[in-house]
Amino acid sequence: MTDIIIKTENLTKNYGGLHALRSANFELKAGEHVAIMGDNGAGKSTFVRQITGVEQRTSGKVWFDGDEVHFNGPLEAREAGMETVFQNLALADDLDVPSNLFLGREKRLINLGPFSILDNKYMRRKTEEGLKRTGVKIQNLSNTIRNMSGGQRQCVAIARSATFASKLIIMDEPTAALGVQETAQVEKIIKTLKNND
Ligand SMILES: Nc1ncnc2c1ncn2[C@@H]1O[C@H](COP(=O)(O)OP(=O)(O)OP(=O)(O)O)[C@@H](O)[C@H]1O
Ligand SMILES: [Mg+2]
């Protein structure tokens, strides 16, 4: 069971009377790279939200890296080594690239709650490393997300997950809103990530 990174057993989610996900049984080995396919409304995003703790499942079990888990939110999943690129991306439009990578896990030089001083140099360096690792090219890291194309935003979200994920990256339709070239770029990034680890 040790080489199985994630496993679900009878994972079920109902929204009131709507059965969005029924008894999903899934297993993924470390080093594997798989796609889950299904129609619009099939339950793919719902499946991702139950694993990552964005929502609380109706029933079923989840194991991650050998332990049975029940994450209370995506932050807990992140801390355990699971990063997710959500379908709606969840980037902050008004922030630049490093601030988005470190959103919610900012590196502080001095920690005084709201009066903390952020270690911008460190975050910028780590961002550059993360982008390099994924093969993502972004001209100007100080650009705010608002001024970026759909493909560039997607790349930032993927670079963020790749920078922090230690065990698993989940991407929910990473190419749905992209053109042919950007899709090819995202596929290249996924291959680069697989080859790196
Ligand atoms: N918060 C919610 N409340 C009620 N119903 C929901 C909610 N989220 C999803 N659903 C329903 O659950 C079902 C599965 O939706 P889900 O978003 O998981 O599909 P999907 O496979 O990700 O589709 P897509 O390919 O369009 O992204 C759909 O019938 C949807 O309407
Ligand atoms: Mg979806």
Domain ranges of the chain: 1-72, 81-197
Domain 1-72, what architecture? 3-Layer(aba) Sandwich (3.40)
Q: How far is the CA of 125 from the centre of ligand 1 (A)?
A: 38
Task: Tell whether ligand 1 has an atom less than 6 A from the beta carbon of residue 41.
Answer: yes
CA–CA dist 27, 25 (Å, integer): 7
Q: What pLDDT is recorded for position 157?
A: 87
pLDDT averaged over every residue in the chain:
88
18 lines ligand 1 (CB under 6 A): yes
Question: Are 1-72 and 81-197 equal in CATH topology?
Answer: yes
46 backbone φψ class: left, alpha, beta (φ>0; ψ -120 to 50): alpha
CA distances from 29 to 34, 163, 164 (A): 10, 21, 20
- Kindly identify the ligand whose nearest atom is closest to the C-alpha of 38: 1
pLDDT attached to residue 113: 79
| Segments of the chain scoring below 70 in pLDDT | 1-2, 89, 197
- Which residue's C-alpha comes closest to atom 5 of ligand 1? 15
Residue 21 CA, closest ligand 1 atom number: 14
Q: What is the pLDDT of residue 21?
A: 97
* Cross-strand partners of 117: 110
**CA gap 52, 165 in Å, rounded:** 13
pLDDT for 41: 92
Q: What share of the chain is helix, strand, coil (3-state, %, to 5)?
A: 35, 25, 40
Question: How far is it, in rounded angstroms, from Cα 87 to Cα 23?
Answer: 22
Q: DSSP string of 52-76?
A: HTSS--SEEEEEETTEEE--SSHHH
pLDDT at 151: 78
Q: 4-25 pLDDT, tens per residue?
A: 999 999 999 999 999 999 999 9
**81-197: what fold?**
Rossmann fold (3.40.50)
